[in-house]
Structures are given as structure tokens and as C-alpha cells.
């Protein structure tokens, strides 16, 4: 996770090995799109190497246009793919696996890798549920984020005991095609989910609010959004590339007696740091609850 910005992108493009496996997605929504677009745009896979299923046509059209193999039958994906990414909402996991099992008719040997991106669902639960369709399932639990669509994603994953070193390698290849990726212990997955999985939603809210402030001060909406977006992009790049602590970088913007420190004063009085920390904690707690419900 050490290289930043354009340099990392350049390295990524050089390092993206073509993935020779067939990649399946059960669920065709936002997360499948983010991972799939990362894979296709980086050149790691062709759309024709992707098999994808969803119960309705709501999201399937985009995939058909790209040239992926689509179906409303989850068994079609499991039969054809080497690596199957579970990308439905956690509450639909049981239904999705029941449909798969009905369509397959018999247990599969453990020749396929299952990668779950479902928030909160632990590896032991996934293994238990997957035993309905596979003998000794090989499972990886991953947490990507939507910026994978623009190859600036940030993903973490953990492996099960049954996953092989080759499974770890292919998982790394899949997720680093869309940005940064690292393996972590499962005990940190819910925390990582809150920071980088849900994080884009928090950042978008802050960006919208900053743009509203700019509009309030008379800047047209489109320019306000562009100013904010470039500011967030540049600030993130400075943190990644300078190696300086964000506090140091903040200090370098705030001149003594200047205008920036007056804005900071308002943020601090409103408790912005505590609120953001509470947001992370609330998100982790909800992931833990979701894990217990499944």
C-alpha cells in the first residue's frame, strides 16, 4: 500500500497480468460493476471472461452491452466460472444459494473459489452456507469499494483455512486491478469495511456539504462541485505521497491569524472529529449485527 497516485497507476498497468480464469458474479449491482469495470478497464480480463447473474433485468443490460455472459440463473454462473464473486446484499445470500443449489442439482467438487464482498458476513458463516452447493468450499472474504470503477479502489481481504496460496494470488490480482489491495486478519474486516467500504459515502456527504457552502457564497453549482472534488483528490494525493501526517498538512494551510484557522475553529466547535469517529464506530457495530443475523 506504499505507492501513490499516477506512479502507482503506472506500476499497476505494468503489473496487471492478464487473468486467465473465468470470473463469475452472483449479483450485478453497484459492487459487481465496480469490480468488473476495474477488471475490464485495467485489461486484466475481457468482458467475455465474465459470467454474471441477477434475478431481474435492472442491472443486466450494462453487462450485455459490455459483452459479458448474463443470466437470471445463478447456477449458470457457478457452473461456468472458476472464481465466483458473491455480490448480492447479505439478506439475499440464502435465497441466492438456494437457487444455485436447485439449479445445480448436485454438490460441486471444490474446484472453484468463492469470494464474498458481503458486508459483515464472517468466513465461518460463508463456509457453512456454501456447503449446500460445494464440498469443502474455498472461501475468501473481501471488502472492496466503489472507487474501483475509476481504478482508485481500496480493498482488503482475508482468507479461510481452505483457501490456497493460489486463491490468495488470484484474489490479489482481481482487486488490485481496480486500485490498492491488501490481505488483513478477519478480526479487522468490519473496521476496514467502515473506513474504506462505507468511507466513500461519508466523503460524498462532506463533498456535497462543502459544495453547498460554496454555492451559498455565490459560486455556481457545477464549479463548486469541481472545486471540491479536485481539492479532495489533491489533498488525498498529498497524504499518500508526502508521507506527512494529515495534521501537519493541515497546519501548513492555516497561517497564524489567517482565514483557514477560523474555518477550522468552526469545525472543531461543532465536534467534527468526534462525529466522524462515531460514524466509523456506528458502521462497525452495524456490520457486527449483520454478521450475527446471518
Ligand X SMILES: NC(=O)c1ccc[n+]([C@@H]2O[C@H](COP(=O)([O-])OP(=O)(O)OC[C@H]3O[C@@H](n4cnc5c(N)ncnc54)[C@H](OP(=O)(O)O)[C@@H]3O)[C@@H](O)[C@H]2O)c1
Sites of contact with ligand X (CB under 6 A): 26-32, 53-56, 58-59, 74, 87-90, 92, 95-96, 99, 117-119, 143-146, 197
**Least distance between ligand X and beta carbon 251 (Å):** 33
**Least distance between ligand X and beta carbon 74 (Å):** 5
CA dihedral 78, 84, 87, 93 (to 10 degrees): 50
Beta strand pairing call for 50-53 and 23-26: parallel
**Least distance between ligand X and beta carbon 129 (Å):** 13
Taking the least distance from each CB to ligand X, the nearer of 118 and 158 is: 118
Q: Which of 24, 19, 20 is nearest to 114 (CA)?
A: 24
Q: Which of 142, 228, 185, 176 is nearest to 3 (CA)?
A: 176
The C-alpha cell at 159 is 482468507
Taking the least distance from each CB to ligand X, the nearer of 56 and 259 is: 56
Taking the least distance from each CB to ligand X, the nearer of 71 and 162 is: 71
Residue by residue, DSSP assigns 226-278 as HHHHHHHHHHHHHHHHH---HHHHHHHH--TTSSHHHHHHHHHHTTHHHHHHH
Q: Is 120 left (phi over 0), alpha (psi -120 to 50) or beta?
A: left
Q: How many whole angstroms separate alpha carbon 47 and alpha carbon 123?
A: 29
**Least distance between ligand X and beta carbon 276 (Å):** 18
Taking the least distance from each CB to ligand X, the nearer of 172 and 250 is: 172
**Least distance between ligand X and beta carbon 248 (Å):** 30
Taking the least distance from each CB to ligand X, the nearer of 203 and 272 is: 203
Q: Which residues are CB-neighbours of 214 under 8 A, at least 6 positions away?
A: 223, 224, 227, 228
Q: How many whole angstroms separate alpha carbon 175 and alpha carbon 61?
A: 24
**Least distance between ligand X and beta carbon 13 (Å):** 24
Amino acid at each position: 500500500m506504499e505507492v501513490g497516485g499516477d506512479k502507482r497507476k503506472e506500476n499497476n498497468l505494468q503489473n496487471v497480468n492478464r487473468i486467465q480464469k473465468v470470473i463469475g458474479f452472483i449479483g450485478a449491482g453497484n459492487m459487481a460493476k465496480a469490480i468488473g469495470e476495474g477488471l475490464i478497464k485495467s485489461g486484466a480480463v475481457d468482458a467475455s471472461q465474465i459470467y454474471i447473474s441477477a434475478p431481474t433485468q435492472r442491472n443486466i443490460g450494462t453487462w450485455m452491452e459490455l459483452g459479458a455472459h448474463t443470466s437470471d440463473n445463478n447456477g449458470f454462473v457457478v457452473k461456468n466460472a472458476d472464481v465466483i464473486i458473491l455480490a448480492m446484499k447479505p439478506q439475499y445470500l440464502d435465497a441466492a444459494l438456494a437457487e444455485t443449489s436447485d439449479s445445480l442439482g448436485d454438490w460441486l467438487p471444490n474446484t472453484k473459489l468463492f469470494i464474498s464482498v458481503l458486508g459483515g458476513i464472517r468466513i465461518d458463516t460463508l463456509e457453512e452456507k456454501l456447503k449446500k452447493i460445494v464440498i469443502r468450499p474455498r472461501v475468501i472474504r473481501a471488502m472492496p469499494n466503489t472507487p474501483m470503477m475509476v481504478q482508485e479502489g481500496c480493498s482488503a481481504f482475508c482468507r479461510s483455512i481452505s483457501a490456497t496460496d493460489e486463491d490468495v494470488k488470484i484474489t490479489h490480482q482481481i482487486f488490485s486491478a481496480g486500485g490498492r489491495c491488501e490481505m488483513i486478519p478477519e478480526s479487522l474486516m468490519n473496521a476496514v469495511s467502515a473506513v474504506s467500504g462505507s468511507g466513500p459515502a461519508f466523503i460524498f456527504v462532506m463533498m456535497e456539504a462543502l459544495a453547498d457552502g460554496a454555492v451559498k457564497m455565490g459560486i455556481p453549482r457545477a464549479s463548486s462541485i469541481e472545486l471540491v472534488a479536485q481539492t479532495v483528490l489533491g489533498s488525498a494525493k498529498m497524504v499518500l505521497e508526502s508521507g506527512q501526517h494529515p495534521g501537519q498538512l493541515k497546519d501548513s494551510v492555516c497561517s497564524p491569524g489567517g482565514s483557514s484557522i477560523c474555518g477550522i475553529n468552526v469545525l472543531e466547535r461543532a465536534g467534527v472529529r468526534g462525529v466522524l469517529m462515531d460514524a466509523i464506530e456506528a458502521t462497525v457495530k452495524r456490520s457486527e449485527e449483520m454478521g450475527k443475523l446471518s
